[in-house]
Amino acid sequence: MEKKKINFSEEERAVLLDLLSRHRSVVENKRTDAASASRKRDSWKKIEDEFNSRHNVAPRKWTQLKKCWENMKDKWRRRNAEDMRERFATGGGTPPSSEMTDELQRVGDIASHMAVRLPNPCDSDRSRHDAMPGGSQSSNQLCTPSVAALLSQTQDTPLEESGESSI
């Protein structure tokens, strides 16, 4: 059985975040082809070398650093979801302030793609104003062009004209 690893200290996580901010374009790239995977692995190895060259950190393998980064992103997602639940809870009054730590805010800045929410007019977790920035939009404006064309064909012609019965 393998010996338990030492937990990352706050200082080690800060060093990792500094290194990731320099390598984020490769590490957070969503491509999964062989060339991208190779570049990601090389970047993680560079991060490992830079991380281990610091005097105030315990030596870590790139796989451990990657796992720590994944754990930090997961913690950010959980905290963000909790903030959203609190924000949309009933009860009135002023909305609660976010309890994101500086570390979690940096995680969100580095992996900024995680904070993007696609607009969905049917999403019950968002107010209509948040779901459709810029005011009210028709459902055709929120759809892809091909779907919008299909919708306009079915919505613009009355049932009597389209040859369908109303029964």
More confident residue, 59 or 124: 59
Q: In three state form, how does the secondary structure of 72-138 look?
A: HHHHHHHHHHHHHHHHHCCCCCCCCCCCCCHHHHHHHHHCHHHHCCCCCCCCCCCCHHHHCCCCCCC
Per-residue model confidence as pLDDT tens digits over 78-112: 988 888 888 777 676 777 777 778 888 888 888 87
- Residue 16: band (very low, low, confident or very high) from pLDDT cuts 50, 70, 90: very high
- Residue 57: band (very low, low, confident or very high) from pLDDT cuts 50, 70, 90: very high
Length of the chain as a residue count: 167
Average pLDDT, the chain: 77
- For position 162, what pLDDT does the model report? 47
Whole-number Å distance between alpha carbons of 52 and 119: 42
Closest CA to 87 of 117, 130, 27: 130
- For position 135, what pLDDT does the model report? 44
The answer, as to whether pTM is greater than 0.75, is no
More confident residue, 46 or 117: 46
